[in-house]
Amino acid sequence: MPEKRTLERARKARREGKAPTTQAGEFVHEEIEHIREGKHGARSTKQVIAIGLSKARRAGVKLNPPRKGTTSARTRKQAERDLAHGKSPKGRRSPKRSRAILRALKREGRGAASRASLSRQARSAARKR
């Protein structure tokens, strides 16, 4: 569940007419902070970004799924599910699944949110554009 502060920042960005990617950036930033605080870890910087984007879609940010050819079919399908979840009335999440995900992330390293790895990821993404 995203923090109240993150939801408020994303709503403010929406009110100001900012792009969905800017709104989703708040959720990605929150995930980076969670890893730096030691709440959980991640295998890679890409995973950190993916978790943030998923949270954004589920929170109602109108962020389109990735285009065909950029990611796997499974990732696109999950993004579509997240988007649909954000549009539908909120249901209960499975506590067992939530616990399992958090326990798995806690076993991962914390280096994915370091300045160096984030910088490397940004350079890599810029080269692809």
Could you report the average pLDDT of every consecutive run of 10 residues in the chain (129 residues)?
93 96 96 96 96 95 94 95 89 88 95 95 88
> What is the number of structural domains in the chain?
1
Q: Is 17 left (phi over 0), alpha (psi -120 to 50) or beta?
A: left
Domain encompassing residue 52: 4-128
Q: State residue 7's pLDDT score.
A: 95
Measured CA to CA, the distance from residue 20 to residue 10 in angstroms comes to: 9
